[in-house]
Amino acid sequence: GNKVKIVSGCFAGIACRYDQKHWRVEEIQRLVREGKAIPVCPEQMGGLPTPRNPAEIVGGDGEDVLDGKARVIDNQGNDVTEQYIAGAREALAMAEAVGAEEAILKERSPSCGSCMIYNGTFSGTKKEGIGVTTALLRRHGIRVISEETWESEGENQT
Ligand code: SF4
């Protein structure tokens, strides 16, 4: 659609990932430059520092976190569930503020994943599931896809 989208900040050259890694996805950077996308990082917006410890969802996925049935734990054992939920709410607030109906978010992140996440054992093992922010955005009717879905849909070809 022509409406402004939300995109993961780490796609747009912003060093917001836990280890400060980021990507410069040209098609996404172009959307941002043209005012067609707003970069957000739910983990930073939820109050976590950068760099920070990597975290995984233990006991479910983002839906379960929102329902109080799973927690987000970092690799040192700290419970960061509250910050992840706060970040999801802030990302939703930003989406609503700009009237976004769609988000392109980083696959496999415990916040941003939309098909796959890590399984909570810090062993690099993935499972089907979605991140906390993706879950909250979808509950509010915002379409969330990943960079991988976006590429396969060919929406970035203009
Ligand atoms: Fe990127 Fe999302 Fe992780 Fe922020 S929370 S670094 S936007 S994947």
Task: Examine the pLDDT at 156 and tell me if it is beyond 70.
Answer: no
How do residues 121-152 score in pLDDT, each as one tens digit? 999 999 999 999 999 999 999 999 999 998 77
* Structural contact between residues 68 and 57, judged by C-beta atoms closer than 8 angstroms: no
How do residues 30-85 score in pLDDT, each as one tens digit? 999 999 999 999 999 999 999 999 999 999 999 999 999 999 999 999 999 999 99
As for ligand 1, residues whose beta carbon falls within 6 Å of it are 8-10, 16-17, 41-43, 106, 109, 111-112
ipTM: 0.99
Distance from the alpha carbon of residue 155 to the mean position of ligand 1, in angstroms: 21
Q: What is the pLDDT of residue 1?
A: 58
Query: Structural domain boundaries of the chain?
Result: 5-153
Task: Examine the pLDDT at 17 and tell me if it is beyond 80.
Answer: yes
Measured from the Cα of 18, ligand 1's closest atom is 6
Distance from the alpha carbon of residue 47 to the mean position of ligand 1, in angstroms: 13
User: To the nearest whole percent, how much of the chain has pLDDT over 70?
Assistant: 96
The rounded mean pLDDT for the chain is 95
- Sorting pLDDT into bands at 50, 70 and 90, what band is 154? low
